[in-house]
Amino acid sequence: MTVRLMSYNVRGLKDDRAALHEVIEHARPDVLCLQEMPRHPFSNHKVAAFAESLGMVWGGGKRHRMSTALITSPRVEVRRSGHGLYSVPRPQEPRGYAWAEVALPGEKPWVAISTHLSLYGALRGGHARELLDDETLDHTLPWAIAGDFNELENGPAGREFKHHGLLDAGPRINTFNAADPHKRIDFIYASPQLTLTAVDMSAVEEQMKVATDHRPLVVDAVIA
């Protein structure tokens, strides 16, 4: 059975909210990896309300004032979840990742991770290593790391993930900017045990142009 994974930078929910909902509802994700959700100290209720508006669930937890979040559909079992914080010098904004061990009932679990990497190339390789070294995560399970990498193909973070055996397995589409996509800066890196198949989103082409400033990545994931 497949689990549908979607990664989306939603730019603080500042754009056309109705179009954003249409894009996500068309995709029907089981696991939604979000970047640039509201991140001020009292914004957790906005994450929970956004999940609820989509018929999905946010597991809560301390987000460390960073903008990443991961929400799931009711059909997915979340065994564990949490957040990790990258090392970022002040006064740069907090960067990190949200993660969850997910599985369909009776199926094998895997780790879904939503990340938003730094604008500074000198930091991104180190952030990738911090994520890979996080002992909180189960390294015996397959992983899928999805998000806004703020880099092109074969950038510092991508090279780190590939060096550790993860594959650039997401759709090879330009994701920025949404109205005129001309570069690919959103990626999904996955363990070889996960087979990812891109989902056609052309039916909501016009909505994707105004929903936010990124195009989403949507795939169906199957564990080999």
Over the stretch 113-170, which tens digit does the pLDDT of each residue have? Answer: 999 999 999 999 999 999 999 999 999 999 999 999 999 999 999 999 999 999 999 9
Q: What is the pTM of this model?
A: 0.97
Instruction: Please state the CATH superfamily assignment of the domain spanning residues 3-223 in this structure.
Output: Endonuclease/exonuclease/phosphatase (3.60.10.10)
Contact 183, 176 (CB under 8 A): yes
- pLDDT tens digits, one per residue of 96-113: 999 999 999 999 999 999
* Confidence band, pLDDT 50/70/90 cuts, at residue 90: confident
Is residue 180's pLDDT more than 90?
yes
* Confidence band, pLDDT 50/70/90 cuts, at residue 1: confident
Residues 6+ apart with CB under 8 A from 5: 29, 30, 31, 33, 112, 144, 146, 188, 196, 218, 219, 220, 221
User: Taking each helix axis from N to C terminus, what angle separates 156-163 and 121-132, rounded to the nearest 10 degrees?
Assistant: 30
Contact 67, 83 (CB under 8 A): no
Residue boundaries of the structural domains of the chain: 3-223
What is the reported pLDDT for 197?
A: 98
Residue 180, classified by CB atoms within 10 Å of its CB into exposed (0-12), middle (13-18) or buried (19+), is: exposed
Lowest mean pLDDT segment, chosen from 14-23, 24-33, 50-59, 84-93: 84-93
How far is Cα 175 from Cα 162, in angstroms, rounded to an integer? 21
Give the angle subtended at the CA of 142 by the CAs of 139 and 143, to the nearest 5°.
85
Contact 79, 109 (CB under 8 A): yes
